[in-house]
Chains A and B, each alone.
Chain A
Amino acid sequence: MNLNWLIVLPVVSALAILPFSQLKQVRSIAAIGATLQLLLSCVLLYVFMQDPASGMSGSLAFESSYAWYKPLHIYHSVGVDGISIAMIMLTAIVVLAGVLISWNMEKMSREFFFLLMLLSAGAYGYFISTDVFTMFFFLELAVVPKFLLIGIWGSGKKEYSATKLVLMLMGASALVFIGLSGLYFNNASGNLSFNMSELAANPLSVEQQKFFFPFAFIGFGVFTALFPFHTWVPDGHSSAPTAASMFLAGISMKLGGYGILRVATTIMPEAAHYYSPYIIVLSAIAILYGSFATMMQTDLKYINAYSSVSHTGFVLFGIGMLTKTAIAGAVIQMVSHGLMTALFFAVIGMVYERTHTRMVDKMGGLLKTIPFISTVFMIAGLTSLGLPGFSGFVAEMMVFIGSWENGGTLHRVATIAATASIVVTAVYILRAIGKVIMGPVEHEAYFEFKDARWNEKTAAIILVAAILVIGITPFLINHLITPGTEAIMNKLVANP
């Protein structure tokens, strides 16, 4: 199967939107495009699982390569393993849900859906690239549309947030670029190369790795809200329109974690060992700081944004542990957090549309008036809290178990500290749910609210279903990603 369809499809749907200006036409094209993307991803998943030769052996599947800038040894080469497929599925689901949530986007609808499709093209391209320059190209492609999405359709201090987000993320990708060019010039093969497997086969000397690892790690880390570079997250997420928040938290933040796994740990394994303690300390701070900061928030979007800092902290935490279970946990946490946070932002959008407030203390008793939305709200909350049966539990559990496999004292202490965040998470989630969903109905007007429309329902159901699939049958996703994580692990074990 040709993976490039994953790039072609969103680009074509984005271009197909351009000639139209009516909301109805535009949104139908976007919805068709997003549905096709999801179908294509499902086909990809199916073919991948069916094909034992290429699929599950740990090497990349469906590889193809086109010379792009040949004199510079830049190729557009693509290939996937289980981890990429999990990310692609996540992207497809979140994009479809995002399109459905934005069904009534009256303001400049054509531009809105165009940018959304462009973003998804960037994300797919990023996840399938096996050439780091191409990967970098798609990484940056997935940044600037966010500036427009937040700045035009956002709320609150949107210009400030949009500028901050874009500058921080572009700064991050500039760091990534330095790391990548370090690999390009210094790899052991003596050839200039951006090819991932070639780079992994010809690693840099340990000294060079130690020099370039921080560039790549911090660069990708900023995308994943690495402490202390997480400050774009709360502002960006809370100012963005619903679909953009979903995309930002659901997919964008995963670009970083995926990049670290692919580039930082696989290509520079020795440096990963060397820097592991630093990663652990920073991500443990992010986990704890994020969860305590969330406790102080009263705005639902800020609650979810800060809790995202805490939750994506687990991704870096798992990766930093450098054990098989922890890395698998980190991957599942990426998918789980992507789905959960997209669901959360979607439901916050639905609530806000009705109550016109996002302040926790101004709401109450929504369960009595809009039961569907409230139930979804609760599911999102409980997933975030890590309740068994939902995906969050599986992911965090695996990260923690994996953490104990690493015997370092610092790693143990950090694990114990990070575990404490579970309690804090429970506090803020239960408090928010208790105030917003339960309790007496705050206003008379609440009784007039209409429950979720079909588009909102569909979006929520898709996301909830995905969360439940991971939560109840975690072995499916584990089976999917294991060859990929094993390949990374082999690299790490072979190069202590």
Chain B
Amino acid sequence: MVQDFFLLMRSELMLILIIFGLLFLKLGNARLKNETVMNMVNVVLIATLAMGFLVKDTGMIFGNMFHTTDLIRLEKNILTLGTLIISLQSYQWLKAHKHAMEFYLLLISTLLGMFFMLSSANLLMFYLGLELSTIPLAAMVNFDLHKKQSSEAAFKMIVSSAFSSALLLMGISWMYGIVGSVSYSAIAAAISGSPLEILAFVMILAGFGFKISAVPFHLWTADVYEGAPIPVTSYLSVISKGAILFVFITVLYSVFRSMGDTWYYMLYILSVATMLIGNLFAMRQQNMKRFLAFSSIAQVGFILLGISGQSVASSTSLIFFVLIYIFSNLAAFGVVSLVSSAYGKEKVDDYKGFYQTNPLLAWTLAIALFSLAGIPPTAGFFGKFFLILAGAAKGNWLLITIAALNMIISLYYYLRVVKAMFMDHNAAPLEKINTPLSPKIALIICIVGILITGLYSGAYEYIYSLVS
């Protein structure tokens, strides 16, 4: 039992170790440099990542509330990797920040919440994890303490997530009323698709919709992304979204499997609306963060399309896509963050002539955007087309055509940034940026990930073997 506890919860325990370590340091008034704190946390994160890959095990503890499989462990590793990259990227922003330690406290707490969420075998456990991951996140959004916009964003975030949590809880309690249990397996065995169950499911779906910012639940996204500090924005857009998506697919595929035909149409509508609205709004954005926010909404549309396929290929493609999306989006945010912290500029127009002065960063951003747009040989091509292919298994060709057309719209606005960097003339482009070591490492990880993950099929096959 004790052995199980340590083995199955080792990732969580590592994070708890970081949290308490930081707390003690803080309480003991340790005068550490921000750099030291960052390096320490990064090392422990790497250790967590390594431990995640080390031993394989499956099991349930805490009265079947918490379970782990190899797949869940892989999902946790993906999230840890993403968090590590973000932690490396926030170097420049955090090194002069007064509250670096608190930032890490909050960051690791949210990650811990996500881990519990992923491992949940029970709606209550899931809700617990969700809240643990959301509330610190709102505090992180507010982390540019002197900026009004940041506080506004945090307020929006907390209100909207409270609202969505309420919806979710409503759905969960109805489900409990119908089934008499909150455990996944009990619900899966009991539901039959009665109208009340569908109503409860819609509540739960709406709750999820808020968290993954699917249209029409997306309205908080752009403002929050714009107001939050860039590392937090990137964390919101990839890690927190990725975690929710992982859980979403578990909930849909194992808990509500028997209602598959019902939710297929819900996902269909959500997917079309999300792709379309996300893309159309992204076209007009001038601020890079807002632009990436809307583009991430559009990406969720493709993800929903892939999920609607209801097959092994769907789950595999989803996890594969999230992995690639972490690399691509973090590469993009990494460059935006460097530019923003060096010059405080975040407009697309500011990037005019960027290539003349910063060729490597320009290529990095271009490759990241190509990957987001789904252009070969980047991994994004594979991620996106496998999602569409997974969705196409249902034979709904109208949906596939809409998705394909949306890819073209998205290509237009991604290329707009590339055009600004490479083609537009600018008498005074942004000066050369000196990239410190740790963001550089982060960008290299991202670019290597973008180039390798797709061309070399190992990652996909590994995920596939775990899913099936």
A residues lining the B interface (CB < 8 Å) = 68-72, 137-138, 140-141, 143-144, 147-148, 151-152, 158-159, 162-163, 166-167, 170-171, 174-175, 177-178, 181-182, 184-185, 211
Contacts and interface: CB of A to CB of B under 8 A. Distances in A.
Please name the 4 residue pairs, one residue from A and one from B, whose CB atoms are nearest each other, closest first.
Answer: A174-B404, A71-B464, A151-B423, A171-B408
A380 B275 CA distance: 47
B404 A175 contact: yes
Contacts of A159: 419, 423-424
A267 B388 CA distance: 22
Given A68-B457, A143-B375, A170-B375, 12 more contacts: A72-B460, A137-B376, A141-B376, A147-B418, A158-B423, A162-B419, A162-B423, A167-B412, A170-B411, A171-B405, A177-B388, A185-B392
B407 A141 contact: no
Contacts of A69: 382, 386, 457, 460-461
Contacts of A140: 375-376, 381
B388 A181 contact: yes
21 contacts: A68-B457, A69-B382, A71-B312, A71-B461, A72-B386, A72-B460, A140-B376, A141-B376, A144-B375, A151-B419, A151-B423, A162-B419, A167-B408, A170-B408, A178-B401, A178-B404, A181-B388, A181-B389, A184-B389, A184-B392, A185-B393
A174 B415 contact: no
A478 to B, nearest CB: 35
B422 A174 contact: no
- B312, B408, B418 interface centre (most CB from chain A within 10 Å): B408
A72 B385 CA distance: 11
Interface residues of B, number: 36
B316 interface: yes
B415 A152 contact: no
Given A72-B389, A148-B422, A166 B376 contact: no
Chain A, interface SS category: helix
Contacts of B298: none
A444 to B, nearest CB: 34
Interface string B295-318: 000000000000000001100100
B407 A170 contact: yes
Contact of A71 (B316, B385, B397, B405): B316
B19 to A, nearest CB: 38
B285 to A, nearest CB: 17
B71 interface: no
B411 A71 contact: no
Given A137-B381, A175-B404, A185-B392, A71 B419 contact: no
Contacts of B386: 69, 72
Interface in B394-433: 395, 397, 400-401, 404-405, 407-408, 411-412, 415, 418-419, 422-424
A174 B408 contact: yes
A70 B457 contact: yes
B422 A166 contact: no
Contacts of A148: 418, 422
B313 A72 contact: yes
Interface string B64-103: 0000000000000000000000000000000000000000
A47 to B, nearest CB: 28
Interface of B: 312-313, 316, 370, 375-377, 381-382, 385-386, 388-389, 392-393, 395, 397, 400-401, 404-405, 407-408, 411-412, 415, 418-419, 422-424, 457, 460-461, 464, 468
Nearest to A150: B423
A166 B382 CA distance: 19
Nearest to B416: A163
B404 A177 contact: yes
B112 to A, nearest CB: 32
A167 B392 contact: no
A162 B377 CA distance: 20
B389 A71 contact: no
B407 A174 contact: yes
Contacts of B370: 144
- B400, B423, B460 interface centre (most CB from chain A within 10 Å): B423
Nearest to B465: A71
A171 B395 CA distance: 20
B48 to A, nearest CB: 29
- B377, B388, B392, B407 interface centre (most CB from chain A within 10 Å): B377
Given A72-B386, A170-B408, A181 B392 contact: yes
Contacts of B411: 166-167, 170
Contacts of B415: 147, 163, 166
A182 B397 contact: yes
A182 B375 CA distance: 21
Nearest to B463: A71
A69 B460 CA distance: 7
Contacts of B418: 147-148
Nearest to A118: B377
Contacts of A151: 419, 422-423
Nearest to A136: B385
Contacts of B408: 167, 170-171, 174
- B370, B389, B464 interface centre (most CB from chain A within 10 Å): B389
A70 B461 CA distance: 7
A163 B460 CA distance: 32
Contacts of A184: 389, 392
A162 B424 CA distance: 13
Nearest to A212: B397
Contacts of A158: 423
A113 to B, nearest CB: 15
A451 to B, nearest CB: 34
A143 B397 CA distance: 25
Contacts of A177: 385, 388, 404
Contacts of B457: 68-70
